[in-house]
Amino acid sequence: MCRWLAYSGAPLHLDELIFKPEHSIIDQSLSARAGVSTTNGDGFGIGWYGSRETPGVYRDVQPAWNDANLRNLAEQIRSHFFLAHVRAATGSPVQQTNCHPFRYGRWLFLHNGRIRGFDGIKRQLDFAVAPELYPHIEGTTDSEVMFHLALTFGLEQDPLGGLERMVGFVESVGHDAGIENPIAMTAGLTDGHCLYAVRYSSDRDSRTLFHSRSAQALCTLNPLFERFTQEAIVVVSEPLNDEPECWKEIGEGTAVVVTECEVERLPFRPRHLS
């Protein structure tokens, strides 16, 4: 189990959300409440959009709560769109290239979950990645393979469609290998303009995922948000405080699209390739 966060809104310093809330993602790296593992100390990563064409990324294998560089960067980097992830490894090594988010061009991707029986079907999944994309896979996680499969299946032109085709393909390969429920995921994907957040699992029992109800709700995290009016949305693996009225759970089999802080909910349906 991992924990992740995505922010879209008026520019703010990353530490306002990553460190300062009472149940921040840093706190969740030590004591997550909604999942099978309470500790997510197998690395972390942040990705943010600024004035450059491609996003910045900082990842390390240290526990997030123990990295002074992360705090220093988060206090200085100001962005209108950023992601953060703390990792609990599920079989793949603890190494920098296995930390999220993963980047390709303007795109960032992060994931909580797993492909069941991944070691047994990895070769077949790898062979389905487009040859021009395969050299960009640096680590050994199922998450990075999922991202590059989605890119192969048209993510850049059709983000949700690419994710749906990826999940459909993984399920088909898994079922052919005798794996009953091949995939479990909440996933976040962005190009710095729109955020796509998905909650789906083959067994219909996904990890939790929430989004903030309004910028006013975020004022319970930090009075800083009072000046943002409606210009802020946060998507989180679990709420950043104990105020349930501030958060709306994203349903099973659902995709959320955040565009200019407007939230659209759509059904997420895997597309099985013919």
The neighbour count for residue 239, using CB atoms within 10 Å, is: 22
Tell which residue, 59, 53, 51, 46, has the closest CA to residue 106. 53
Distance, in Å, from the CA atom of 114 to the CA atom of 154, rounded to the nearest integer, reads 22
What contacts 100, CB < 8 A, 6 or more positions away? 2, 4, 45, 59, 85, 87, 109, 110, 111, 143
88: left (phi over 0), alpha (psi -120 to 50) or beta: beta
Considering 2, 99, 246, 261, which one is annotated as catalytic? 2
123: exposed, middle or buried (C-beta count within 10 Å: 0-12, 13-18, 19+)? exposed
Active site residue 2: yes
Both structure tokens of 168: 């459909």
Both structure tokens of 106: 């303007």
* Catalytic sites, residue numbers: 2
